[in-house]
Chain A
Amino acid sequence: MTQHRTQIKIVGEILDTAMQEIDEQEGTTVTHIIRKANISHGRLSTILSNLVSQGLLEQVNSKRSCRYKISPSGREFLVAYKTFREFSDDFGLSI
């Protein structure tokens, strides 16, 4: 049975992907996030622009493609997200 992913869970997976592929200069590509976070391009574009406007992701100017890297606020959010994801799991709930 497929499990429904909440918006916050998708955001967490996007930030986690950006965190894992940490490259201070380059950041990570949209294609890579799509593959890792398993999300459509259309939906991802909206979420990415929201995350950039909220300061959780930073857009990196690159000659080849549009890239994103996690900001310090994004890392803080990710730590909080992982902590409380565990907490929700303890109660048998999904964050």
Chain B
Amino acid sequence: MEFFLEIILNLIGLLVGIVIGTISYIGFKNTGSPTLFRLSIAFFAIGVGFGILAAGFILDDFIFKTGHINKGISTLGVISQVVGYWFIAFSHTIRTFFPRSRYFRSIGAIPLFLVSFNYIENIFRAISFILLVYGAIETMISYVQGRKKTTLFVGIGLSLLAFGEFIGWYSFVFPETILYAASIIIKIGGLVSVGIPVSKIPLRKISFDENL
């Protein structure tokens, strides 16, 4: 069941990442905007990261049948996602590595003490959590300034992805509980929410029209 949920989550992540990355790249090609270029790298990296994880789970489910994803594959997937989250944070002109707010700084630090530092994967998951929280805070600030509904959806999506990651770590502490499945469902909700702005893009209008 967990493998099935993981495969669904990672395939949705692959789809959302590649679609947003492609639209951002089309935007970059049309306008030359560096922001859109960074956004395309970010979402391609996130999509590829989810794709690598999906491939890892599928390979194990159908070929290796060990019941655990290969550590090397999962670390590679997580690193790719971290690169993506870093580019989102960088696009928000990241000034310091940790969020300014003391409250969020403390929340960001808790998981670092909960997980074992023996695994590179866990360290990268911690970094991706912090970057997600930073991206979510900055997007929420943009929403407060502009009051755009789609910005709110992106902010909520990034928050859900961070929260899902956070809940996921608690499943290390309390294995065999509903926490793991809950974290995956929360992450799926986050990905869907982040993908909402794509539905607003009038793709047919992007191609140059002779009658304009």
Contact = CB atoms under 8 A, between A and B. Distances in A.
Co-complex (A, B)? yes
Interface in B126-171: 138-143, 146, 148, 150-151, 153-155
Contacts of A94: 35
Which of A8, A75, A90, A91 gathers the greatest number of chain B CB atoms within 10 Å? A91
Contacts of A6: 33-35
A80 B27 contact: yes
B30 A77 contact: yes
Interface residues of B, number: 36
A84 B27 contact: yes
B138 A92 contact: yes
A77 B205 CA distance: 11
Number of contact residues on A: which range applies? 20 to 34
Nearest to A4: B93
Contact of A84 (B36, B88, B150, B153): B36
A86 B200 contact: yes
Contacts of A75: 212
Contacts of B143: 92
Nearest to B91: A93
A81 B209 contact: no
A70 to B, nearest CB: 11
Q: Chain A: interface secondary structure?
A: helix
A90 B200 contact: yes
A23 interface: no
B202 interface: yes
Contacts of B27: 80, 83-84, 87-88
Contacts of B142: 89, 92-93
B91 A79 contact: no
B39 interface: yes
A60 B192 CA distance: 49
A69 to B, nearest CB: 15
Interface in A63-89: 72, 75-77, 79-81, 83-84, 86-89
B170 to A, nearest CB: 28
Nearest to A74: B212
A95 interface: yes
Contact of A92 (B34, B139, B206): B139
B26 to A, nearest CB: 8
A95 B208 CA distance: 20
A95 B36 contact: yes
B32 interface: yes
A91 B154 contact: yes
A83 B200 CA distance: 9
Interface of B: 23-24, 27, 30-36, 39, 88, 91-92, 138-143, 146, 148, 150-151, 153-155, 197, 200-202, 205-206, 208-209, 212
